[in-house]
């Protein structure tokens, strides 16, 4: 697990977003075809050498300490040299930003902190800002891969560690993901999680969460008001008595 130091003030609301199929369209077929051409392995062999044996899942859970270690293991598995620039080019070519979804992040950023939480390893973490250049201005230092937290979605622990990092309680946190199992993982720790499908209006989902939070805050104020008024009345009576 990477040592992420968060020295910023804790936000009132936190909005966490998955990346692939939420903020960007990721065509894994394009990536696999390009990798097959580069390495000489067909799709089945590529999967056997890296994905099916669990290496990518290990990377997402923080098994590799940094991008260099990830790439070295990937090259060993492929049995050939895979320069980082080529690895990144192949992955990035399979990604297309989704402007309407990114607009939803922009809207969320006006109401709290926005953070990425994508199942990816440390090498991907180096390149996200170049694969999806619209994200850094919105997310700042919070373009996090799950490898930073030493666990992967849908494990509840990755959500707990993200909450601890951002210093925001689960009930004040919104999360969007395209996989039902990840949404359930977030809900299991109390996060307000939304399943993103092809026709999901992500901005509307964010707005509904914000409205719900504002209503809850107003209800808390109203519930506290009688006690405050009683305390003020008791204070006035005490001053009159002492006078």
185 plus 131 within the same structural domain: yes
75 plus 136 within the same structural domain: no
In a domain, 241, yes or no: no
Are 70 and 64 in contact, with CB atoms under 8 Å apart? Answer: yes
18 plus 40 within the same structural domain: no
In a domain, 231, yes or no: no
142 plus 155 within the same structural domain: yes
Q: List the domain range (segments joined by +) for residue 186.
A: 14-25+97-205
112 plus 47 within the same structural domain: no
pLDDT of residue 220: 84
Residue 147, pLDDT above cutoff 90:
yes
* Nearest-angstrom CA–CA distance, 156 and 174: 15
Beta-strand pair 143-145/95-97: unpaired
In a domain, 223, yes or no: no
Domain boundary among 92, 112, 146: 92
Residue 196, pLDDT above cutoff 80:
yes
Residue 53's DSSP bridge partners are none
> pLDDT digit string (tens) for 153-171?
999 999 999 999 999 999 9
**Section 191-217 average pLDDT:** 97
In a domain, 146, yes or no: yes
> pLDDT digit string (tens) for 15-51?
999 999 999 999 999 999 999 999 999 999 999 999 9
Residue 55, pLDDT above cutoff 90:
yes
Mean pLDDT of all residues belonging to the chain:
94
30 plus 76 within the same structural domain: yes
| Letter string b/e over residues 132-159, b meaning 16 or more CB atoms within 10 A of that residue's CB | bebbeebbeebbbbbbbbebbbbbbebb
In a domain, 187, yes or no: yes
84 plus 132 within the same structural domain: no
107 plus 197 within the same structural domain: yes
In a domain, 168, yes or no: yes
76 plus 165 within the same structural domain: no
**Section 73-81 average pLDDT:** 99
Domain boundary among 92, 108, 128: 92
pLDDT of residue 46: 98
> pLDDT digit string (tens) for 209-235?
999 999 998 888 888 776 666 666 666
Other CB atoms within a 10 A radius of the CB of residue 113 amount to 23
In a domain, 152, yes or no: yes
Number of domains in the chain: 2
Domain CATH for 162: 3.40.50.1000
Who contacts 106 (Cβ-Cβ below 8 Å, separation ≥6)?
Answer: 138
> 241 vs 154, which has greater pLDDT?
154
9-13, 81-85, 182-186: which has the minimum mean pLDDT? Answer: 9-13
Residue among 138, 150, 167 at smallest CA distance from 13: 167
> 241 vs 179, which has greater pLDDT?
179
Q: Write out the chain in H/E/C secondary structure.
A: CCCCCCCCCCCCCEEEECCECCCEEECHHHHHHHHHHHHCCCHHHHHHHHHCCCHHHHHHCCCCCCHHHHHHHHHHHHCCCCCHHHHHHHHHCCEEECHHHHHHHHHHHCCCEEEEEECCCHHHHHHHHHHCCCCHHHHCCCEEEHHHHCCCCCCHHHHHHHHHHHCCCHHHEEEEECCHHHHHHHHCCCCEEEECCCCCCHHHHHHHHHHHHHHHHHHHHHHHHHHHHHHHHHHHHHHHHHC
How many percent of the chain have pLDDT more than 90? 84
* Nearest-angstrom CA–CA distance, 79 and 64: 19
In a domain, 211, yes or no: no
Domain boundary among 63, 92, 121: 92
80 plus 197 within the same structural domain: no
**Section 179-185 average pLDDT:** 99
194 plus 122 within the same structural domain: yes
55 plus 125 within the same structural domain: no
């Amino acid at each position: 697990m990477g040592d992420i130091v968060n020295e910023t003030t804790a936000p009132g609301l936190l909005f966490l977003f998955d990346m692939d199929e939420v903020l960007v369209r990721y065509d894994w077929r394009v990536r696999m075809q390009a990798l097959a051409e580069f390495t000489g392995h067909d799709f089945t062999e590529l999967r056997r050498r890296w994905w099916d044996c669990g290496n990518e899942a290990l990377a997402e859970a923080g098994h590799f300490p940094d991008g260099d270690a990830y790439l070295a293991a990937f090259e060993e598995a492929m049995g050939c040299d895979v320069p980082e620039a080529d690895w990144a080019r192949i992955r990035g070519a399979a990604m297309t930003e989704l402007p309407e979804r990114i607009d939803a992040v922009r809207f969320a950023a006006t109401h709290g902190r926005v953070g990425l939480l994508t199942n990816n390893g440390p090498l991907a973490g180096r390149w996200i800002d170049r694969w999806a250049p619209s994200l850094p201005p919105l997310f700042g230092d919070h373009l996090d891969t799950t490898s930073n937290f030493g666990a992967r979605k849908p494990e509840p622990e990755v959500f707990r560690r993200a909450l601890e990092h951002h210093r925001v309680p689960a009930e004040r946190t919104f999360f969007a993901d395209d996989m039902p199992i990840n949404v359930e993982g977030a809900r299991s720790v109390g996060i307000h999680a939304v399943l993103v499908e092809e026709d999901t209006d992500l901005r509307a989902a964010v707005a509904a969460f914000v409205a719900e939070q504002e209503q809850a805050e107003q209800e808390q104020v109203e519930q506290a008001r009688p006690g405050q008024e009683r305390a003020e009345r008791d204070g006035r009576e005490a001053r009159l008595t002492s006078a």
